[in-house]
Structure 1
Amino acid sequence: MARAPRIHVAADFTVGGDVVLPEGAARHVARVLRMGEGAPLILFDGQGREASAVLIESGRKRVVARIETVETGCGESPMLVHLGQAISKGDRMDYAIQKAVELGVAAITPLYTEHGDVRLKNDREARKLAHWQAVAVSACEQCGRATVPPVHPPMSLTDWLGERDEALRLVLHPATNRVLERETAPSSVVLLIGPEGGLSHTEVDAALAADFSLLSLGPRILRTETAPVVALSLLQYRFGDL
């Protein structure tokens, strides 16, 4: 039996209550998946709650689901990781965000760095941020998470470093420090990934001054969108739920 599709709907879930699907989700359910009345689906509110529902109306203008059960989602990692990801062009940034969400990241901040070649301003930044948040939502629909991690507005690396208070702070950089061999799991982690051209010496020094430790991922140079996948996998394996 095919698995019921998971749809993000920012709504209050009440057993027996009806939820009108927003335009994008309604179009996907009615026109792409061609689901009719009586079809089951899973809704999640992005704040940790998940509901089993059934379609009671599936038309061109309106799609409505009736809530049958409500429960707490179970796809969250016990380890809270904040990812600081240098902004990269096009699909590479989308890939980094998508995979980070699949690997349980709790929050993402796109960063402007010295060697980064992307600079967003005003409306373009707002559009990109909305797009990246939609990528995170889509990843949650796919991977089974009921909590959508926020993608924060882009900021400079300097400002971002000044806000850090996580228990374990890591910056990817060629090094020999064995920082993942600590005995106890940290209460929170922050992970800094540089751009395609790498972080500058000044930026690395600034991270070290902010109590970051150097983390090496081996002798090969990884692309900026591959690095968070490998690093988050290691962290989840060592301290999380992999």
Structure 2
Amino acid sequence: MPRLYVPAAFAPGIRVELPEGPARHVSRVLRMSEGAPLVLFDGCGGEAGALLEEAGRKRTVARIECVWPGEGESPLAVHLGQAISKGDRMDYAIQKAVELGVAAITPLYTERCDVRLKDEREAKKQAHWQAVADSACEQSGRATVPTVHPPMALAEWLVLRDEPLKLMLHLATGNRFDMIERPPAAALLIGPEGGLTEQDIHAASTHGFTPLTLGPRVLRTETAPVVALTLLQHHFGDM
């Protein structure tokens, strides 16, 4: 049964017009007909069972039959600060982070980051990354869509962090998985290709970040968040 992200208020009996993307998927890709069942989620934790009422070229409408609270959210709220990378690497990192339960993502400009976005191009990239997150929620069964924040400089992001657990991926020996109490939230900093510079590390350390090492092998920037988030979810989350 298709599961679609529709940012709308759900209540039994109401009719909801599907946004362009889900509408096209239902009517043109799946070629579903009237009366077909759907599962919708609102991105804020709610889900709904619905029946397709209209599936035309101009609009697609579903009628809400029942609603329920969504599941799939981790008890550990992780804010991922991910250095911006080229090509599909950033898409991969965001997609897998959402599948692994991340609560929020901020693309970062770090010292070694060789991607610099400005104005309209930056806004388009942010919208694209948010769409990647939306799609990953549809696939993974989450009902709450993590926000992909506008890109910002590492220094700005560090100032905003108030999570009780702050980790930066770094080859120096260290981890914080031996904490006695499980933290409700964590901040995770992942550097670009080439890693964080000494200046980046010093800035993060000044704001309370401690090193997290994943062993002697150097991971790619898009692989690192997958491994780090898996470990965090295992130790403090719901894995």
The one of 10, 17, 22 equivalent to 1:20 is 17
The one of 100, 117, 136 equivalent to 1:139 is 136
Q: Distance in 1 between matches of 2:3 and 2:26?
A: 10
Partner AA of 1:232 in structure 2: L
Deviation at 1:61, TM superposition (A): 1.3
Deviation at 1:175, TM superposition (A): 2.1
Q: Distance in 1 between matches of 2:133 and 2:188?
A: 18
Structure 1 runs of 4+ with >3 Å offset: none
Mapping for residues 135-214 of structure 1, pairs under 5 Å: 135-214=132-211
2:111 — aligned with what? 114
1:132-182 CA distance string (max 9 Å, x none): 000000000000001000000000001111111100000000122231111
Structure 1 SS opposite 2:214: coil
Q: CA RMSD in A?
A: 0.7
1:124 — aligned with what? 121
The one of 231, 235, 241 equivalent to 2:232 is 235
Structure 1 SS opposite 2:148: coil
Q: Distance in 1 between matches of 2:184 and 2:58?
A: 47
Structure 2 residue 99 is matched with structure 1 residue 102: yes
Per the normalisation by structure 1, the TM-score is: 0.97
Partner AA of 2:165 in structure 1: L
1:39 — aligned with what? 36
1:93 — aligned with what? 90
Deviation at 1:219, TM superposition (A): 0.7
Query: 5+ residue gaps in structure 1?
Result: none
Paired residues in the alignment total 239
Q: Distance in 2 between matches of 1:178 and 1:229?
A: 16
1:108-151 CA distance string (max 9 Å, x none): 00000110110000000000000000000000000000100000
1:57 — aligned with what? 54
Q: Distance in 2 between matches of 1:61 and 1:43?
A: 20
